[in-house]
Every structure is written in C-alpha cells, then in structure tokens.
Structure 1
C-alpha cells in the first residue's frame, strides 16, 4: 500500500534518504565507511571481475549492431522532427558531459604511469611506450562511450518516439509489462540511477578539485590543503547550480562551447609545442595496436596469478563508465531528439573516442618524452603531474593557466548536466525540472565530493565506483533486452 500512492514522489524521498545517510556516514564515520567499501570491493573484484569485461565487450557489440542494422534509420522522435542542436553544439555538449575532468586528470598521468610500470616490459623502454598508449586507448577509446550510447539511444527512443517519461526505468517497460511488482522495481531502478549518478559525478568533482588545488599550488604557491579544496568546491557549486537553473539554452550550451574552445586551444598548442613527430608516430602506432589487440585486451585477465593491475585499471574504468552512464545517457538523450539511431550511436562513440585517444597521445607523449626519471617523480602526485609536464615546455605557464580554467569549465558542465538529470530523475521524468529540485541535488553532489576528498581521493573512488556500479550492470542488460524487444515491433525494411 505504501508504494501505491500516486501523490508521493518516492524516488525523490528514498534517493534523498539514501544519499543523506551515505554523506553522514562518510563525514562522521570515515573509518567505518572505508572498511565497508573495502570489504565489498574485495568481494566483488574477486568473484565478478570477468563479468565486467564480458559486459562491456557485449555492449560494444550491441552498439555496432544497432548502427549497422536495419534499425539504424529509425528516428529518435517523430518522422518530421529535426535535431534541436547543430552538430558542433551537440558534440560539445555531449563531450563536456561525458568526459570532462577525467581527460585533464588522467591525460598525462595514466600514460606516464604505464610507462613507468609496464606489464612484461622494461620501464622507460620503447615497448613501455607502446604499452602505455595501448592501455590508455583501451580505457579511453570506444569502451568509454558505449554504455552512454546504449542507455542514451534507448532513452531517446522511448522518450521522443514513444512519448514516455525520461527515466531509466521507462526503458525496462517492455520486459516488465506483466510483472505485478513493476512499480516497485521501476522505483528501485530510478533510485539506483540517482545514487550512481551522484557518486560518479561527485567522484569526478573530487578529482577535479584536487587537481585545481594542485595547479594553484604549483603556479602560485598557495597550499593545496583541505581549506583550499573546500573553497574551490563552494565557488564551483554556486556556479554550476546557477548555470543549471539557467537551463540548456542559456548557461549549459554556452559553457559547453567554452569547453570545446579551451580544449581545442590546449590540444593544438601542446601538439605543436611538444614532440610533434613522436606524438604523431605514437598515435598512429597506438591505433594499430589498439585495433589489432582490441578483443584480447578487452577480455584480458590472468586465469590464476594476481590480477591487481587488472583491478586497478581495467575493472576500475569499466565500473567508472557504468557509474557515469545513467546521467550521461539521459543527458545526451535529452539533446539528441530528431537524430537517427545510426547517427546517434556513431556520433556518440566514434568521434569522441578518436578525440580522447589523440588527447592521450599528445599529453602522454609530452610526459614520456622527458624520460623515465622525470616520469617516476611526476606520477607520485596525480594532481600536479600535468603541471610538471608543462613546466618543461615553452609556454608551460600559459598552458597551466588554460588547464586550470578548463578544469573549472569541465567541472561545471559535468556537474550542471548531472544536476539537470537528477532533477529529471526525481521529478517523474519532467524535461524541465523545478529549480528547487536542481538546487537540492547540486548541494548533495558537492557534499559527496567533500566526502571523497576526505576519504582519500583516487583510492576510495576506485573502490566505490566498482561497488556502486555492480547492481546497475544488470540494469544495462535489462535495457538492452527491452530495447530489442521494442525495436522488433517497428515496421522497417
């Protein structure tokens, strides 16, 4: 009876309770929080790591099938609907929401980490460079976008073609039609989507805050302590809530364009200032290795010996992308009305993946070109690694300043996209959620970022991302099955 009332917004109520409990435990019982998350993490990676590998490869295969099949020409909307945004604006908005801070945070640090600690190769060798690029491309190539594409295309289809609510649970309707617990299951899925969205984005905010603080300390000598990081979070929270309240056409679209402009300036400048020839050679060779070993690397896991490396890198990233998929999927669905399934899938996966791989080739090679001794020193502190790289090239100070501004804008676009989506999730799929709703989730998101910073940054993020993404992996499987069931009803040649 409790869940049958149509007047109460249970997704909002239960999401608020759940997130509130986690924030309180994280702030006031940090040891307990760490203990529980570590226990759950150890249990999951020990038993279910192969599941993550198989799931992500399966999602990739399904995405390619959608784009190449007879269903590719189906429009995400009515037959006469046109895209709301131009290709450039659409791309800049989905790129800002989908990658954001992660590119800046990991762009130089990850390749350098692989370069200094390669598997089955001599650190600092040419084989180590190939290993670094191959792994960075695997993590940040098409696999980083496929879960967004599957959830996004399914949501856009049901929302704009079938006229249903913009909720994750809506995509499961075809397989829940005759289930007597349908409403309860859908509520649980939507609450799960809210929680995962907050965790994924808040974790990214925490990383971004630490790197902005690291850049400020490196450039201006202001100590990157907890007080500075809290000040950064407060300032950015005010900005992203303000822009989220402004809506898609005002604050968010303009910020996405600023993002794309700053990122382009940074990438092009570093490409020409850095070791241009080596960057081009590494990119081309890395693409060859990426294509050649794509399937084997996507399923790489040691059958008997230790898989610590796999847990730290591959499984973490697959879980991280899953944890971001609800909010990014909903957001890019919201801005993709009028496009075909083929256009959506290829646009979301192919172009952003190439840009990401080029990004890692440029910044990774700038770091590795400085030698093993430099790299080993630079990777000790993730939040200053990129700034140390810039310091060794002409225009390094300018690049560092641009990088800090880019972190701010990526920070804001990811956060306000999430606030908008959380507002939709907790207002029964309303495409224009109330400002009060956005403000509440904006504040909670910021509090979660504080929790991640307090509890240890990247380490707690890696554990918690895997823990919270696990149940949602089964939701993604359900979405794929339900979407195919509905597509088969379409009259296509």
Structure 2
C-alpha cells in the first residue's frame, strides 16, 4: 500500500460516512438528497443543456481542426488495442448495463406514458420517443466523455503527467494542483466514480434477479440480489487481477458479441420492416433536430417541463457523474491515437450503435404494446423480459440478455476498480492488485448495503448532486486542454521550421 495517496484515505472516509447515513436513516437521507436533486435540476437545467451542447460543438471543432493531427502520446506511439477491441472497451465502460435496462422501457415510456410534446400512443409520439432516446444516449454524452478523456490522455501520454483529473488543470493553475486543491478535485472524482458504479451494480443485480425470476422463478428480493452481487464480485475481481490487456479486453469483446447477437435476433424475430423504417426516419430526425432538442428547456406553463426535468436534465447530470470514471478509462485505452481519430471514434461509433439499439428494442416494445400486451404496467427491469415473451425464441433472447447484463456488470466493475486504483495511487498505470481488490469489495459492499435498506435512489440523487461541482471542473479541464493543444501546435510548427 506504499503507492496509495491521501485521496484514497479521504475518499474512503467520506464514502463510509455517506453509507452509514444511508443505512441508519435511509428515509431522511433520501428525502434530503431528493429535495436537493430537485432544486439542482430545476435551477440549473438551462446550464446543463448549454454545457452539453457546447461539449458537442467544441469536440467536433477540435476534431476537424489542425489539432486533430496531434497524437495522444509520443509521435512514434501507436494504439495499444485494435480498433474493434478499443470500440468494445469504451462502449462497455461507457454504458453497459444501461442499454439493456432502458433499451425497451425508455422509448416505450416516451411513447405510451409521457411524450415530450406529442399525444401518448400516437405514431408521432413513437417517432419522438425514439429520437429523444437517441439524444439521451448519443452524441452529446459521448462528446462530453470525449473531451474529458482527451484532456486526461493528452496530459498523461503526451506530457507524462500522472493520470489524474487534477493534472489536467495545470495549464491554468500550475503546480497548485499538486497540493490540497488537487486533492479536492481528485477526491470528488473518486467519490463520483465509486458511487456511480455501485449504483449501476445495484440496478444490474435487480435486473438479473428479475430475469432469473421470469425464467426460472428465482425469488425477487434482497437475498437473491446479494448472491448475484457476491458471485459477480468474485468474477470481476478475478478479471481485475489479471490486468487490463487480458480481463477487460476479453470481457469487452464478449460484451460486443453478445450485444450484437441479441440485437440481430430482435431485429429478425421482431417487426423487422417497422424497425428498419423507423430507424431510418428517426435517425434522420435526430440529426436534423439535434440542436433543437439539445437546447429544449420547456420554459412555459404549457410546455411539458416534467419530461425535460425527469429525462434530459436528469440524464445530463447522471452522465456528468460518470465522466471521471468513463473519461479516465477511455483515456487509458487510447494511447497512440490521433486527436481526430479519437474524438470521431468516441462520438460517432457509439452514437450510431445506440441509435440502432433503441430503434430495435423501442420499436419492438411499441409493437408488442399495441398488439395487446400492456408493457407500460411493468417495472422497468421487467419490461424487456415481458416483451421477449411475445416474440419467437423468447427463452433464447432472455438467456442472452441475462448473460449480457452479467457480462456488462463484470466489465463495468472491473473497469471501475482499475480506474479507482489509478486515481488513488497518484495516477499509476498499474495500480497494485490489493488496491483494486479493496475498491472492488467496497463497490459491491456499497451496492449490497443500499439494496438492503432500499437506498439506491438516494445514492443516485447524491451523485447527481455531486455532478454540479464536477461540471465546473470539466469546464476548467476544457479550457486547460484548449490551451495545451494550442501550445503543442505552436511547438510542433516551430520544430518543423527548425526554430
């Protein structure tokens, strides 16, 4: 434990106090965090919308500018992973369980329960619901991840700085980031990562439990979820112990194979022509209306403000809370790529894939719903499996979905233990196994405790609240990387001219 920094001990203490509060007084904790989260969403919604739009526009400008030729690493460095493996790894860490959890239920909700502007149950509501699903999981989020990861990768591999969030602020604050202020920034990042992943693990356990109950009658409850988390914890710790180039690499490739297989089967056995037609039209609508949807605040009384607050702004805060984890992991696997290749790959490829995913699962859910099976009455974790019941090969689809959730579960936890290990060992690219073991057990313990007291929603509120101060850090990171890229471009030009 010689490599462990103060960030480790401070964050562990804060996490312990938060979990104790959540366990001892869960109702009070949830009430307080819910009120604060509601205030943040209502008062800062406009800010989040502007921020994500700025990330998207700025990332595309950087990608096509002369900065795009700069390599994330030394000029002689080349990528550590093939493009296919790289895509699989960033996709698995970036969204994972969420795609399976919300793939059918979110578009269905936008269509049948609470559309943004249209009448529920209409064709217009279905099209709108799909385009908003693409928005919530597409380009703006990946642009935000891209800017965060770009900052980390540039300073880590081009400038040989530690792989820490605080290192990316040195162009602005200099060596002050080596002191207490740097510790504050890194503690905030570790806190958001630990609780964000723990919440995701809790949701994953709930859905695996729901799937096993649906297929085999396994009782839904804490004991089943406890056993699921315990088994998965053993698996992801074993994977984390084997290292980045083995465990996470193989798991990520497995994820992509299972995800593509499940997607293809749903397209084939579902309403194929409807899926293809809806994807073609709604993806076009998404591209045409991307800026309009990104800036929609629903400010007037007659606007559907509940949709914006409950979905778009909630998601924007939620994704910001994941930025330290996903950004650091994507940075770690992207050494050797050019800025242009990196940003376009991070934004375009996942956006297209998640759009196809939501088109397939959302269209199928709407088709099943309109055929007489009211899927809107089921809890989110059961929508998918009840949809499968109405399709051919339902058992095969459910089994693949459970395997995919479990695989994503393991990959997310595995990736998080690696990132947490980096952040709490002064940016080490090879954090000690004992540190990864501690973080792996800690994440699972947090998820188990919160499932026991029913506190997942409170912790979700907590990290959304934490996203607000971290968003200011991200703005500073963006200023820092722009300044560093400009200076690096000047240096390259001077060297080319022999000056």
TM tier relative to shorter chain = over 0.9
CA distance in 2, matches of 1:222, 1:335: 38
**Equivalent residue in structure 2 for 1:134, among 120, 131, 134:** 131
Structure 1 counterpart of 2:496? none
Structure 1 counterpart of 2:285? 289
* Offset from partner CA, 1:285-342 (integer Å, 9 cap, x none): 1112111211111111122436222111001111111111111111111111110000
Contact 1:367/1:375, CA 8 A, preserved across alignment: no
Structure 1 counterpart of 2:497? none
Q: Are residues 383 and 471 of structure 1, via their aligned partners in 2, closer, same or farther at CA, if it must alter by over 3 Å?
A: same
Structure 2 counterpart of 1:279? 275
SS at match of 1:177: helix
C-alpha displacement at 1:460, in angstroms?
A: 3.8
SS at match of 1:488: helix
**Equivalent residue in structure 2 for 1:417, among 406, 415, 418:** 415
Structure 1 runs not aligned, ≥5 long = 1-5
C-alpha displacement at 1:47, in angstroms?
A: 1.5
C-alpha displacement at 1:62, in angstroms?
A: 1.3
SS at match of 1:393: coil
Query: Where in structure 2 are the equivalents of 1:65-464 lying within 5 Å?
Result: 65-117=61-113, 118-177=115-174, 179=176, 183-305=179-301, 307-372=305-370, 374=372, 376-454=374-452, 456=454, 459-460=457-458, 463-464=461-462
How many equivalent residue pairs? 487
CA distance in 2, matches of 1:438, 1:415: 10
* Offset from partner CA, 1:136-167 (integer Å, 9 cap, x none): 11111112211211111111110111011001
TM-score, normalised via structure 1 length = 0.95
CA distance in 2, matches of 1:210, 1:239: 18
TM-score, normalised via structure 2 length = 0.94
* Offset from partner CA, 1:55-90 (integer Å, 9 cap, x none): 111111111111011100000011111111111111
Structure 2 runs not aligned, ≥5 long = 494-499
CA distance in 1, matches of 2:319, 2:269: 32
**Equivalent residue in structure 2 for 1:472, among 470, 478, 482:** 470
Contact 2:67/2:339, CA 8 A, preserved across alignment: yes
CA distance in 2, matches of 1:106, 1:465: 20
* Offset from partner CA, 1:410-439 (integer Å, 9 cap, x none): 001011100000000000001000111111
Contact 1:153/1:341, CA 8 A, preserved across alignment: yes
Contact 1:206/1:457, CA 8 A, preserved across alignment: no
CA distance in 2, matches of 1:308, 1:368: 22
C-alpha displacement at 1:446, in angstroms?
A: 1.1
C-alpha displacement at 1:375, in angstroms?
A: 6.2
Contact 1:176/1:182, CA 8 A, preserved across alignment: no
CA distance in 2, matches of 1:8, 1:215: 39
Contact 1:108/1:367, CA 8 A, preserved across alignment: yes
CA distance in 2, matches of 1:373, 1:29: 45
C-alpha displacement at 1:223, in angstroms?
A: 1.2
CA distance in 2, matches of 1:433, 1:182: 20
Contact 2:30/2:457, CA 8 A, preserved across alignment: no
Contact 1:63/1:146, CA 8 A, preserved across alignment: yes
**Equivalent residue in structure 2 for 1:12, among 8, 30, 44:** 8
* Offset from partner CA, 1:125-144 (integer Å, 9 cap, x none): 11111111111111111122
Q: Are residues 112 and 173 of structure 1, via their aligned partners in 2, closer, same or farther at CA, if it must alter by over 3 Å?
A: same
CA distance in 2, matches of 1:124, 1:25: 42
Contact 1:124/1:371, CA 8 A, preserved across alignment: no
Q: Are residues 457 and 68 of structure 1, via their aligned partners in 2, closer, same or farther at CA, if it must alter by over 3 Å?
A: farther
C-alpha displacement at 1:119, in angstroms?
A: 3.3
